[in-house]
Structure 1
Amino acid sequence: MMWLPTSPSALALRTWLGLGLFVLLCLGMGQALEKKAVNGKVGGKVSLPCCHEIPSSESLQKYRVYWQKNITDVVLAYSEGNMIPNHKRYRNRTEMDPWNLTLWISPVEILDNGSYQCVVQRNSVVVCDESVSLFVTADFSKPSITAEVSGGSCESTEMVVTCSSHGGFPRPTISGALNNVSVEWNASWVSEPSLRTYSVTGKLVLNVTKDVNITCSVEYSGFATSTSLPLKNINDCVVPPVPPPYNVIIASIIIVITFILAITLTARYLPRYVCSRCCKSQDSVEEGVKGYTKPPMSSKGTAETSSV
């Protein structure tokens, strides 16, 4: 078999055609992905767009419209303008626009999360068949932070910090910061089978050396809720005094003993010294008084002397 040479112009044309088809395919996929995602919150109202809009010259009586979930559950359906019985879980919670065929769900429940399909027929011919995904979220409670002291020293306090939140959907992530520095929580999740909601708990062991601020954030489907708690180093230890050197102790003892001996000697001998001085002074006074007051000579003697 003989291969004919291909001209450069033909190769360039094939290349450009391939690139054009690839770009159109990517654009088409991008547009399809863009209109397939719808977000809703529990208790709110969401609208799911359909892939067809009935012209103003026609009416719903000429169409069959099926809104179904997971291809098995009929959410809402119309045949020739009349509603077809649907799944009991969606009764009194759904309605459809008669022109653009948008499906409204209110109030939204967690079980509504999933993929929906809009199928439109006219004269038994499928006009469009397209899926749209509904991502349901339920708000988590404001995180609760508790701190329990597990040990410590004079320099730091060891704490077990717990952060918990509940009642949300979908499964969240938990993050935190210690004085604006990221920390990693040891997280665990619990799911309530009946409600499909989640509870999350994170634990963190910290050695607190100074007053700090801990923040816990619970993030889910683009939403977040957070709480902060100040932590303090509560261990205020009293440092024992350093004993003085040995020679200082000996010198202090000698000084105290000398002082006690001086007081003892003073108390014992000072009264005796004072008393002896007082006694000597009193004797001197008495002798002086005796010398000054000699006994007078008797009158008889005086007379005898006169007569002589």
Structure 2
Amino acid sequence: AREKKVVKSKVGETVSLPCCHEIPSSESLHKYRVYWQKNITEVVLAYSEGNMISKHERYRYRTEMDPWNLTLWISPMEILDNGSYQCVVQRNSVVVCDESVILFVTADFSKPNIMAEVLADSCESTEMEIVCSSHGGFPKPKISGALDNMSVEWNASWVSESSLSPYNVTGKLVLNVTKDVNITCSVEYNGFAKSTSLLLKKTNDCVVPPVPPPYNVITASIIIVITFILAITLAARYLPRHVCSHCCKREDLVEEGVKEGTKPPISSKGTPDTSSV
């Protein structure tokens, strides 16, 4: 089987779907029957003998067909246009070609919005719930994320009225933040992506109180302090007496020296010299 052609377009744009046959310049559309139909059962438009014989109400004023290469033009694109289209060409009741083309319609999602809520806080870490949301896009997206370039898995949920309606997507994540980090949320859809980043700050940088010393260290410290105090007390009592005793002895010696210095000199009785003549 021949591989189906794929055409991609965005909501609001103009798209052209190629047909499998081109009418030669020597002929005209009057000799052909052309059917453009969606999902086999829904006729978008039909031509017979050069005249339009059918056109779906939803495509009224939004479609045209080239009379030579039979290309189907749709503008502006809608999400409901997403699907498989088939071009069937007949000449003289004989099928000339019958091929399908798949149309992928994309609607852009909004730029993701990231919100962070603190659940618990301590000196070591901050527990946060991160919520990333985006809306209004098509088709159903994939949501991914990164924490400082390391991938994270979101708990994702999607809301849509139907399989051919815009989607709203929400991703949730609980993190323990121990330092300032960047988190990125990306919404990917049909080859496109929208991303947003947010700096998560650790909110509490309190100083951890010092750990008290063990009981045996406290006991040893008390004994050392008491011993030191006793030593000072004993020294204070002993040193004054020792110094005073030395002072008293020194004063006694000085007094004795003074007394000895003040005694009168001892006179010696001399005998007169007798000279003999």
* TM-score, structure 2 as length reference: 0.75
Contact kept in structure 1, 2:121 and 2:203, CA below 8 Å: no
SS of 1:151's equivalent? strand
Please give the alpha-carbon distance, in whole angstroms, between the structure 1 residues aligned to 2:136 and 2:171: 15
2:55 is paired with a residue of what secondary structure?
A: coil
State the Cα deviation string for residues 18-65 of structure 1 (Å, max 9, x = none). Answer: xxxxxxxxxxx5xx32x5211111111111110100000111111111
Alpha-carbon shift at residue 232 of structure 1 (Å): 0.8
CA distance in 2, matches of 1:241, 1:68: 79
Aligned-pair CA distance for 1:192: 2.7
Equivalent in the alignment of 1:39: 8
Instruction: Show the counterpart of 2:39.
Output: 70
Q: Which residue of structure 1 lines up, in the alignment, with residue 63 of structure 2?
A: 94
Q: Which residue of 2 aligns with 1:187?
A: 156
Per-residue CA deviations over 1:184-213 (Å, capped at 9, x if unaligned) read: 111111113397111111111111001100
Does residue 103 of structure 2 align to residue 134 of structure 1?
A: yes
- How large is the Cα RMSD of the aligned pairs? 2.3
| Structure 1 residues 93 and 250, CA gap change in structure 2 (3 angstroms) | farther
148, 158, 165: which one aligns with 1:196: 165
- Aligned to 1:55, which of 1, 24, 27? 24
Summarize the alignment of residues 80-229 of structure 1 with structure 2, pairs less than 5 Å apart: 80-193=49-162, 196-229=165-198
CA distance in 2, matches of 1:156, 1:166: 32
Q: Which amino acid aligns with 1:227?
A: T
Q: Matched residues in 2 for 1:55 and 1:83: separation? A: 20
CA gap of 1:248–1:97, structure 2 versus 1, over 3 A, is farther
Amino acid across the alignment from 1:93: R
1: CA distance between counterparts of 2:7 and 2:154?
Answer: 31
Distance across 1 between alignment mates of 2:212 and 2:57? 85
Shift of 1:123: 1.4
CA distance in 2, matches of 1:199, 1:65: 39
Q: Unaligned regions of 5+ residues in structure 1, if any?
A: 1-28, 256-308
- Structure with bigger strand share is 2
SS at match of 2:199: strand
Q: Does residue 1:237 correspond to 2:206, yes or no?
A: yes
**Higher normalized helix content (fraction of residues):** 1
* Aligned residue identity for 1:56: S
Q: Distance in 1 between matches of 2:116 and 2:32?
A: 63
In 2: Cα distance, 1:127 partner to 1:142 partner: 47
**Deviation larger for 184-193 or 168-177:** 184-193
Letter of the structure 2 residue corresponding to residue 45 of structure 1: T
Higher RCO (CA-CA < 8 Å; seq separation 6+): 2
CA gap of 1:242–1:123, structure 2 versus 1, over 3 A, is closer
Partner Cα distance (1:249, 1:94) in 2: 100
Instruction: Report matched runs for 1:272-291 at 5 Å.
Output: none
CA distance in 1, matches of 2:222, 2:123: 29
- Gaps of at least 5 residues in structure 2 are 230-277
Distance 1:115 1:249 in 2: 93
Calculate the TM-score normalised by the size of structure 1.
0.68
- In the alignment, the residues of structure 1 paired with residue 119 and residue 210 of structure 2 have an alpha-carbon distance, to the nearest angstrom, of 28
Change (3 A) 1:55 1:154: same
Is the partner of 2:151 in helix, strand or coil? strand
Give 1:249 shift.
11
Q: SS of the counterpart of 2:203?
A: coil
Summarize the Cα distance change of 1:249–1:154 in structure 2 as closer, same or farther, 3 Å threshold: farther
Please give the alpha-carbon distance, in whole angstroms, between the structure 1 residues aligned to 2:66 and 2:110.
35
Report how far residue 151 of structure 1 moved. Answer: 0.5
Deviation at 1:240, TM superposition (A): 3.4
On the 8 A contact 2:130/2:175 being kept in 1, the answer is yes
Identity of aligned residues (%): 80
CA contact (8 A) 2:32 2:48 kept: yes
